[in-house]
Amino acid sequence: MKLRAILLGIAFVWVSYLASYVYNTTTTTSTFQLYSTNPDIYRNTSQLIETRGFHSEIHHPVTRDGYILTIFRIVNPFISNRSSLKPFYFQHGLLGNSDNFLLGRQSKLINGVYYDLPSMNHTNCSGIEPNNVGQSLAFVLAACGYDVWLGNYRGTRYSTQHVFLTQKDSEYWSYSVDELGMYDIPATIEYILSYTGKVELGYVGHSLGTSGMFQLLSTRPSYSALIRPFIALAPVAYVANIQTSILQYAANNLPFIKKLGELNIPFFGIPSQLLAVGDDIFSTFICGNTILQPLCTSIAFALCGYDWANTDQNDLAWIFGHFPDGTSNRVIAHMGQRVSQNTFSFFDFGPKNNLQTYGMRTPPIYNLSRINNRYMIFVSGINDFLADPKDIEHIRKQLTGNG
């Protein structure tokens, strides 16, 4: 029944789009597009930053378990004294990377002012201008005098290295969501603070980027003193109410989740660098094709939620050129466990292995009530399939001690 609903939804989107296309071609000068020529599809994070008028820096924190991460710094060349700038660290979501924070319509930093193109409307950094521009918070903050850093979890196309392992080694992929909050985020925080000489930074997490921070702050509450503010975009901890049918079905197929967690290989079965090539091909020739574009729209809506009003069809090719990115099977299995068990817990290895790993037959639960950070901002949508309002309310109650 759920599969039928998904297929009917895809068919509806496709028919609606084609009807709209036929109408537009008979009433306007719209033309058929065989493939996308948007150069942003192929640009990496540094190139995306520099084509917008900023400079970029590449840095490599090393985690305590040996993963060599890649983080990007957005440098505003019109600010000569950077010592006074407050750092802001952005961390992406599941199957994402640092590129995701740079998507949006064309923009440019010109003589220190950030403009939308071609309208030439510019950002007012006072924060009180009702017509501010800029779809990328990272670029807007960099333009307005903040020191912006973009993180990448292990296993993505940018963070493929390890001190002594390669992505061909199964041990490389033997990590779950736990390690992201236990190692990747603190390594990045400590690197940024050490490099800049600051004592605190702002943190912007999206989806899995919020999960990792919730885990870190609940297990090591002292980190709350370093994070001001913590901006949680589509916050994810409890996920029992996700509405994506295909993910719900997979998560509740317990033998499948168990097997997935046992396979120490990349999700999709291919390394992130090869996956990036597939993204480019799919986005260029499928999402960039006028007739096939509804397939991309359908995938986006089926996974994330339906939102015609806030979806620019022309941006789909750009988006799918940078998504999905790589991670481990165990990360996906871990998220599936949280869906089916309705817990915000450590990875479940099974009773016997849990006893060896945790000293108990069931995995420990992350205690959100231990988080003492009072500078948290939640930003979410009412039709987000992955960050359901009921699950977000569960987080709120835990944080305030009312759960």
Question: Whole-model pTM?
Answer: 0.90
Neighbouring residues of 331: CB distance < 8 A, sequence distance ≥ 6: 94, 155, 175, 176, 177, 180, 267
Q: Which tokens go with 60? A: 């490599």
Q: Residue 116 forms beta bridges with which residues?
A: 107
pLDDT at residue 44 tops 90: yes
Would the pLDDT of 170 be above 70? Answer: yes
Q: Specify whether the CB–CB gap between 192 and 340 falls below 8 A.
A: no
The domain 33-400 belongs to what CATH superfamily? Alpha/Beta hydrolase fold, catalytic domain (3.40.50.1820)
Q: What is the pLDDT of residues 124-137, one digit of tens each?
A: 787 666 666 678 99
173: left (phi over 0), alpha (psi -120 to 50) or beta: alpha
Measure the CA dihedral 98/99/102/105, to 10°: -170
The tokens describing 293, both together, are 């574009």
CB atoms within 10 A of CB 356: 8
- pLDDT for 24 equals 47
HSE of 403, CA atoms in CB hemisphere, 13 A: 18
Instruction: Give the residue carrying structure tokens 């990792």.
Output: 212
Phi, psi of 266 (to 5 degrees): -70, 150
Strands 161-162 and 67-68: antiparallel
Q: pLDDT grade, residue 29 (50/70/90)? A: very low
Instruction: Give the residue-averaged pLDDT of 193-214.
Output: 98
List the beta bridge partners of residue 108: 115
pLDDT(87) > 80 = yes
Dump pLDDT digits (tens) for 71-86. 999 999 999 888 999 9
Task: Look up residue 101 and give its amino acid.
Answer: F
What is the pLDDT confidence band of residue 30, given thresholds at 50, 70 and 90?
A: low
Q: Is the pLDDT at 66 greater than 70, yes or no?
A: yes
pLDDT score for 368:
96
Quote the CA–CA distance of 95 and 80 in Å, as a whole number: 36
Closest CA to 89 of 185, 219, 225, 211: 185
Return the residue matching tokens 């061909």.
Answer: 168
How far is residue 289's CA from residue 353's CA, in Å, rounded to a whole number?
Answer: 49
